[in-house]
């Protein structure tokens, strides 16, 4: 069974710490939220100056953070959640959920300079980190997706809705598939739009989220299953990598 993963991409990459660059400080040494925020500001000052190729090369020096998931919080927020999702899928007893050739990973992002830069870097990195699915990884820029421009944002969110509706509703000729949305990155308005779309969808959609401050290897991945469901279940991944679902709502 095919997997289709939609990942909203923001700009947390520009304040992350998974780079082999002098002056970049790991969040593993930040003991308070205030200290972490201070590191993020300093890291951003350095990372904003680098081009896409330079960032890709700098990450390759710190690839062990992706491989070992330590410290997980040094990765961009959406990549940290995606890293946990990769483990959860590949460890699932149902082998049809494992990542494989033919799967899709769609990076949904704004078309402004920072949003495009972060999405381009993550697309390049994921193609290297996940060679089995590299051919199915692509960017989907959304024009004018910027909360600072309310009149344009309405148009952009309509585009998010229309385009995502096609991804959440497989065509009859398409193979059966598992659909996931990683909402950790990007704008809150985009997350609201995709959640509303998933809730009214007939096809099952699993929404995943990882808290930005998590530094846990297996815990920290949260899921809600929507679409064609009579009950809404919230789940987290326990210390053994298993899902712990709890019903939080019943649809009439």
pLDDT for 97: 85
pLDDT for 172: 86
pLDDT for 136: 97
Residues of the chain with pLDDT under 70: 31, 212-220, 230-231, 237-243, 251-252
> Which of 188, 185, 182, 183 minimizes the C-alpha distance to 76?
185
pLDDT (tens digit per residue) in 139-193? 999 999 988 888 899 999 999 999 999 999 888 888 889 999 999 999 999 999 9
| Distance of alpha carbon 157 from alpha carbon 145, whole angstroms | 7
pLDDT for 237: 65
Burial 195-218 (b: 16+ CB within 10 A, else e): eebbeebeeebbbbbbbbebbebb
Q: Where are the domains of the chain?
A: 2-11+68-250
pLDDT for 252: 62
| Distance of alpha carbon 175 from alpha carbon 211, whole angstroms | 32
pLDDT for 212: 61
Domain spanning 2-11+68-250, CATH architecture:
3-Layer(aba) Sandwich (3.40)
pLDDT for 238: 64
């Amino acid at each position: 069974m095919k997997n289709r993963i939609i990942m909203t991409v923001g700009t947390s990459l520009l304040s992350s710490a998974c780079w082999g660059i002098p002056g970049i400080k790991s969040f593993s040494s930040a003991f308070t939220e205030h200290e972490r925020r201070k590191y993020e500001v300093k890291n951003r000052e350095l990372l904003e100056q680098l081009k896409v190729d330079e960032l890709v090369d700098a990450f390759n020096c710190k690839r062990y953070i992706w491989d070992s998931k330590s410290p997980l919080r040094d990765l961009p927020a959406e990549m940290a959640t995606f890293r946990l999702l990769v483990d959860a899928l590949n460890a699932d007893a149902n082998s049809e959920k494992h990542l494989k050739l033919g799967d899709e990973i769609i990076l949904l992002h704004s078309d402004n300079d920072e949003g495009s830069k972060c999405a381009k870097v993550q697309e390049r990195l994921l193609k290297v980190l996940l060679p089995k699915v590299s051919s199915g990884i692509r960017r989907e820029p959304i024009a004018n997706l910027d909360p600072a421009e309310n009149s344009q944002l309405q148009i952009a969110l309509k585009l998010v809705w229309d385009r995502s509706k096609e991804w959440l509703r497989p065509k009859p000729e398409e193979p059966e598939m598992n659909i996931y949305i990683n909402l950790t990155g990007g704008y809150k308005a985009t997350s609201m739009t995709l959640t509303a779309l998933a809730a009214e969808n007939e096809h099952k959609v699993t929404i995943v989220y990882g808290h930005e401050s998590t530094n846990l290897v297996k815990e920290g991945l949260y899921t809600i299953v929507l679409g064609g469901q009579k009950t809404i279940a919230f789940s987290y991944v326990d210390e053994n990598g298993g899902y712990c679902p709890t019903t939080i709502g019943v649809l009439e």
